[in-house]
Amino acid sequence: MPHILLVEDDDRLSKLIAKGLQEASFEVSMAYDGATGLKLALQTNFDLIITDIVLPKKSGLEFCNEIKVLKPNLPVVMLTALGTTDDKLEGFDAGADDYMTKPFEMRELVARIKVLLKRFSQQKQQQVFVLKYEGIEMNLEQKTVSRNHTPIKLTPKEFNLLKFMMENSERVLSRTEIAEKVWETHFDTGTNFIDVYINYLRKKIDKDFDIKLIHTKAGMGFILKKDYETGTI
């Protein structure tokens, strides 16, 4: 039975969510502030965390950021009333693996939890710990990235995006595919989410190097390739 930590300061809502998760065959522990949530997350081997953003003592963003540093393979779902594009970007930059806005359907939350648990279970079984491409080296265990031995600091979501591109180097990746494979969430792919993160990544991976590796193929998507000649911007 997967064990979930629920961090929500609204007592009534917390109990309703916990009941729904228990009916879906999950074990649930609860915390009502970010500081207590962090303490519990470090003391217990949870399979997944659900957290609000606006919390007493420590915000959900701070909590998520800290737990992702200490336990990078622990999936986190942000469940909050804050639903603007900027709010979502902040959540993903803090390390959230999925983001749902209130009000929400319990069935959808359960479905997303199952997707994340399956994905992270598969990742644990992978035996490849270092990815390399044209001077980029990514250590999947230590969560470090370098290019030509120069360390590059990435946010958790930038790291996952680069990982997907390195795993699929020299292949054009559509925005829809990136959204499905990197985020595994259902935000509107008509927004500029993907382009925003590609630009973040391009500034860190390519800006200080003569050879550019991240390219845009107009109308089709993005590709990680050395000296891509046509359809780039």
* 3-state secondary structure (DSSP) of residue 120: helix
Mean pLDDT, the chain, integer? 86
User: How far is it, in rounded angstroms, from Cα 209 to Cα 194?
Assistant: 23
Residues 173-196: what's their mean pLDDT? 77
User: How far is it, in rounded angstroms, from Cα 53 to Cα 9?
Assistant: 10
Residues 166-193: what's their mean pLDDT? 79
CATH 1.10.10.10 residue ranges in the chain?
A: 130-224
Q: Out of 126-135, 156-165, 200-209, which region has the weakest mean confidence (pLDDT)? A: 126-135
Q: Using N-to-C axis directions, what is the helix angle for 193-205 and 85-93, rounded to 10°?
A: 40
- 101 secondary structure, DSSP code: E
* 3-state secondary structure (DSSP) of residue 23: helix
* Confidence band, pLDDT 50/70/90 cuts, at residue 124: low
Assess whether pLDDT exceeds 90 at residue 30: yes
Sign of CA dihedral 123, 126, 132, 133: negative
CB atoms closer than 10 angstroms to residue 77 = 22
Assess whether pLDDT exceeds 90 at residue 165: yes
Assess whether pLDDT exceeds 50 at residue 231: no
User: How far is it, in rounded angstroms, from Cα 113 to Cα 65?
Assistant: 19
Residues 193-212: what's their mean pLDDT? 91
Residues 24-50: what's their mean pLDDT? 90
User: How far is it, in rounded angstroms, from Cα 155 to Cα 189?
Assistant: 21
Please give the structure tokens belonging to residue 190.
Answer: 């008509």
User: How far is it, in rounded angstroms, from Cα 94 to Cα 132?
Assistant: 25
Cis before 151? omega within 30: no
Residues 111-129: what's their mean pLDDT? 77
Q: Considering the domain 3-125 in this protein, what is its CATH number?
A: 3.40.50.2300
- Residue in 33, 39, 115 with CA at minimum distance from that of residue 77: 115
Residues 25-52: what's their mean pLDDT? 90
* Confidence band, pLDDT 50/70/90 cuts, at residue 233: very low
- 53 secondary structure, DSSP code: S
CATH topology of domain 130-224: Arc Repressor Mutant, subunit A (1.10.10)
CATH 3.40.50.2300 residue ranges in the chain?
A: 3-125
Cβ atoms of 62 and 34 closer than 8 Å: yes
